[in-house]
């Protein structure tokens, strides 16, 4: 499987703007062929240990059944529409892609 984790820092980081991005994630990114797991959420304000990276407002986690599904998602019209509609409020976007295995 392939895990696609994206961390968004927003220009407007108000609760309303965070919720707008989360809604767009759910609308445009949750239902693609090959998605095994989808989740999106905001920064947890209570987790502030020294090791916690707090440089984001919204986290997106999508696990695909493999590289082919991930690559198709990158070019999917819904994904491109999501980017076009949301990118103006992105201060910084960090993407972490990794191969993963589930527990047996």
Does the domain at residues 2-41+55-99 carry the CATH identifier 3.30.70.100?
yes
Distance CA 81, CA 102 (A): 31
Would you list the domain boundaries of the chain?
2-41+55-99
pLDDT given for residue 51 in this prediction: 78
Distance CA 16, CA 89 (A): 12
Distance CA 4, CA 99 (A): 9
What are phi and psi for residue 17, nearest 5 degrees?
Answer: -70, -40
Q: How many CA atoms lie within 13 A of 84 on its CB side?
A: 7
Mean pLDDT per block of 10 residues along the chain (104 residues) reads 98 97 97 97 88 90 97 97 97 97 80
pTM for this model (two decimals)? 0.93
- Please answer whether residues 21 and 85 qualify as being in contact, where contact means their C-beta atoms are separated by less than 8 angstroms: no
Distance CA 35, CA 49 (A): 31
pLDDT given for residue 102 in this prediction: 82
């Amino acid at each position: 499987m392939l895990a696609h984790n994206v961390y968004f820092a927003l220009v407007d980081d108000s609760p309303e703007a965070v919720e707008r991005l989360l809604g767009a994630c759910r609308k445009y990114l949750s239902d693609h062929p090959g998605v095994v797991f989808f989740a999106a959420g905001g920064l947890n304000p209570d987790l502030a240990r020294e090791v916690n990276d707090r440089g984001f407002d919204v986290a997106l986690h999508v696990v695909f059944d493999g590289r082919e599904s991930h690559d198709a998602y990158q070019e999917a019209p819904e994904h491109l529409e999501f980017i076009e509609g949301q990118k103006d409020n992105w201060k910084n976007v960090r993407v972490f892609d990794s191969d993963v295995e589930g527990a047996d």
